[in-house]
Amino acid sequence: MGLLDIFKNDPEVVVAHFNHGTRPSADDDQKFVQKKCAELNIEFFTEKANLGENASEETAREKRYAFLNKIALREKGEIYTAHHMDDLIESVVINLIRGTGWRGLTPFSNNYHPLLNKTKKEILKYASENNIIFRQDPTNTEEKYLRNRVRESVKNLPEGTKKQIYSLFLKQRDIQEEIKDIETEILPKDNIYERKFFTEVDEVVALELLKVITKETEPVCRRFLEAIKTYAPEKFFNLSKNKLVKLHKTYFSLENL
């Protein structure tokens, strides 16, 4: 609602609201946002999915962004979200827990996030000063979600520490772009990779390149690297989401991933 308030006078803004259907109050959230958009004379798009209360965060996110991308494509626009600095830090912590390595320090690389340099405290202050009414998601306090458990730790960080982490995020994002350019030059264009290269190159380099080409976490890439070094020809290695890689005598291919 704070983000909407900032852009409410922009004639090109439309609002896209996705109702995950994971809790009874989600319908009231949808009506709340729709009513506000009607008051502001802003075009409103919505879609509801009945994911159920046991839906994973990953499934909810996939469905949400499929909807947002559909609206962005239809309206020939860009996606702006209200992620803020606390969200950023939570995502960094979660990524590091899951073993994403340094890439986990740069979440939110896609879309636009105008509030990313603001802490949650600063946004709540803005809402209070501008009489902005908003609704709270009651599931934000449920401990079954990893993000909620991480949020409890993040909220106790001093504001100065959050700003320092944000500054590091900006630096790391620039470095990541440089690394991507170098990786693009190194990797073959036909998605066929020589096993010998991965057995002879420094392990740190091998792991970094495998993360790029497989989009997997470091633990998975470590197992895959071991498979590249030891598996017999014509044997398969399982990546996540049931993706298979066939290891030939001298090479492996990821063309079907």
List C-alpha distances in Å: 69 to 16, 72, 120. 10, 5, 26
pLDDT per residue over 207-233, tens digit each? 888 988 888 888 899 999 999 999 999
> pTM of the full predicted structure?
0.71
C-alpha 144/C-alpha 203 separation (Å) is 36
Instruction: Determine the average pLDDT of the residues in 114-120.
Output: 94
User: In the chain, what are the domain boundaries?
Assistant: 1-77, 81-185, 187-253
Q: What is the pLDDT of residue 53?
A: 84
Between 228 and 91, the more confident residue is 228
Q: What is the pLDDT of residue 18?
A: 97
Q: What is the pLDDT of residue 102?
A: 65
pLDDT band at 98 (very low <50, low <70, confident <90, very high): confident
**Which has the minimum average pLDDT: 3-7, 38-42, 112-116, 202-206?**
202-206
Q: What is the pLDDT of residue 110?
A: 67
- DSSP string across the chain: -HHHHHHTT-TT--EEEEE--SSTTHHHHHHHHHHHHHHHT--EEEEE----TT--HHHHHHHHHHHHHHHHHHHT---B----HHHHHHHHHHHHHTT-GGGGG----SSB-TTTTS-HHHHHHHHHHTT------GGGG-TTSHHHHHHHHHTTS-HHHHHHHHHHHHHHHHHHHHHHHHHHHHS-TTSEEEHHHHHHS-HHHHHHHHHHHH---HHHHHHHHHHHHHPPTTEEEE-GGG-EEEE-SSEEE-TT-
Instruction: Determine the average pLDDT of the residues in 16-25.
Output: 94
Mean pLDDT score across all residues of the chain: 89
Instruction: Determine the average pLDDT of the residues in 47-70.
Output: 91
Q: What is the pLDDT of residue 139?
A: 73
Residue 104 has pLDDT above 70, yes or no: no
C-alpha 207/C-alpha 64 separation (Å) is 31
Scanning the structure block, which residue is given the tokens 């609002």? 15
Between 62 and 145, the more confident residue is 62
Q: What is the pLDDT of residue 257?
A: 52
Q: What is the pLDDT of residue 179?
A: 74
The class (CATH top level) of 81-185 is alpha beta
List C-alpha distances in Å: 88 to 13, 29, 128, 168. 24, 24, 22, 12
Residue 83 has pLDDT above 90, yes or no: yes
Percent of the chain at pLDDT > 70 equals 94
Instruction: Determine the average pLDDT of the residues in 107-134.
Output: 91
